[in-house]
């Protein structure tokens, strides 16, 4: 992977995950992030070891040569957003184990609470430059 890339890998059939991607993309005024579904070719090529370990229930963030998962991914993404969202990075001070317990609870229930799509998200024409296959 290019060490300057910032890629958010997300569950392409999860309604919550897609809403999060839409939320981040609308607030990414510097066009910092690229997006790729965990079910797509980019994930298969760039993070196969995580996919083999069935990490499809985690947001995965690749930034500057490092991979972040679960709550750490969410906090590092917030740090890279425009506006007031980087202030959420203060929660990195909360022990990872505690943060991830909450993250995993939401992840386990995301389909039940928010729904699941039949197919992965297809980017609109104005978004295609930011979405990887």
Pair 120, 13: CB distance under 8 Å:
yes
For residue 80, how many C-alpha atoms fall within 13 Å in the half-sphere facing its CB? Answer: 23
Residue 49, in any domain of the structure: yes
Task: Please give the structure tokens belonging to residue 46.
Answer: 């760039």
Helix (H) or strand (E) holding 100: helix 96-114
Phi, psi of 118, deg, nearest 5? -75, -30
Asked if residue 40 is part of any domain, the answer here is: yes
112 within a domain of the structure (yes/no): yes
pTM reported for the whole predicted model: 0.87
How many separate domains does the chain show? 1
Has residue 55 been placed in a domain? yes
In a domain, 133, yes or no: no
Domain that holds residue 102: 6-128
CA distances from 40 to 5, 60, 65, 101, 125 (A): 17, 13, 20, 27, 18
How large a percentage of the chain has pLDDT more than 90?
Answer: 44
CA nearest to 6, candidates 96, 87, 71, 67 = 67
Least confident of 1-5, 30-34, 56-60, 116-120: 1-5
Q: Which of 10-24, 73-87, 114-128 has the lowest mean pLDDT?
A: 114-128
Residue 92 in any domain: the answer is yes
Q: Taking residues 106-127, what's their average pLDDT?
A: 80
1 within a domain of the structure (yes/no)? no
């Amino acid at each position: 992977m290019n060490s300057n890339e910032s890629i958010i890998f997300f569950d392409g059939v999860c309604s919550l995950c897609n809403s999060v991607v839409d939320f981040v993309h609308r607030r990414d005024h510097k066009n910092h992030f690229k997006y790729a579904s965990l079910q797509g070719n980019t994930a298969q090529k760039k993070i196969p070891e995580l996919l083999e370990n069935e990490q499809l229930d985690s947001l995965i963030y690749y930034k500057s040569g490092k991979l972040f998962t679960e709550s750490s991914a969410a906090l590092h993404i917030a740090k890279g957003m425009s506006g007031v969202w980087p202030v959420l990075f203060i929660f990195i001070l909360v022990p990872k184990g505690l943060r991830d317990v909450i993250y995993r609870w939401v992840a386990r229930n995301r389909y039940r609470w928010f729904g699941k799509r039949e197919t992965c998200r297809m980017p609109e024409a104005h978004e295609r430059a930011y979405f990887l296959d």
